[in-house]
Structure 1
Amino acid sequence: MAHFTVIGLGRFGVAASLELIYLGHTVTGVDKNSQIAEKYVDELTQAVICDATDEHSLRELDLDASDAVVVAIGEDMESSLLCILALKNLGVSEIWVKASTKAHHTIVSKLGVSRIIHPEEEMGIRVAQALNYPMVEDYLSVGHGLYVVEIQVSAGLNESTAGQLLIDSEEEIKVVMVKREQQIFTQVGRDFVLMEQDTLLLCGTREALKLLAPKLG
Structure 2
Amino acid sequence: MKHQYAVIGLGSFGSTVALELTRLGHDVLGIDSDASRVEYYADQLSQTLIADGASDKVVEELDLPAYDAVVVAIGENLEASILTTLALKNAKVKQVWVKAISEAHHRILFRLGADRIIHPEHEMGIRVAQTLLHPEMLDYIPLGNDWLVVEVKVDERFADQPAVELPLEDHDLRLTLVKRGTEVWQAPFTDLVLRERDQLVLLGTMHNLLRFAKKQ
When the two structures are superposed, what TM-score results if normalisation uses the length of structure 2?
0.89
Q: Distance in 1 between matches of 2:182 and 2:30?
A: 36
What is aligned with 1:204? 204
Shift of residue 37, structure 1, vs aligned partner = 0.7
Q: Which structure 2 residue ranges, 5 or more long, are not aligned?
A: none
Q: Distance in 1 between matches of 2:58 and 2:166?
A: 61
Q: Distance in 1 between matches of 2:162 and 2:110?
A: 46
CA contact 1:133–1:213 (8 Å) conserved in 2: no
Instruction: Give the length in aligned residue pairs.
Output: 213
**Root-mean-square deviation (Å):** 2.0
Superposed counterparts of 1:136-147, under 5 Å: 136-143=137-144, 145-147=146-148
Q: Distance in 2 between matches of 1:181 and 1:106?
A: 42
What is aligned with 1:63? 64
What is aligned with 1:99? 100
Further displaced range: 146-155 or 24-33: 146-155
Further displaced range: 154-163 or 103-112: 154-163
| 1:168 aligned counterpart, secondary structure | helix
CA contact 1:165–1:215 (8 Å) conserved in 2: no
What is aligned with 1:117? 118
The one-letter amino acid paired with 2:150 is V
**2:138 pairs with 1:174:** no
Q: Distance in 2 between matches of 1:182 and 1:30?
A: 34
Q: What is the identity percentage for the equivalent residue pairs of Structure 1 and Structure 2?
A: 46
Q: Which structure 1 residue ranges, 5 or more long, are not aligned?
A: none
Further displaced range: 148-157 or 96-105: 148-157
Q: Distance in 1 between matches of 2:183 and 2:95?
A: 37
What is aligned with 1:15? 16
What is aligned with 1:51? 52
CA contact 2:137–2:150 (8 Å) conserved in 1: yes
**2:83 pairs with 1:82:** yes
Q: Deviations over 1:43-68 (max 9, x none)?
A: 00000000112222222212122111
Q: Distance in 2 between matches of 1:56 and 1:211?
A: 55
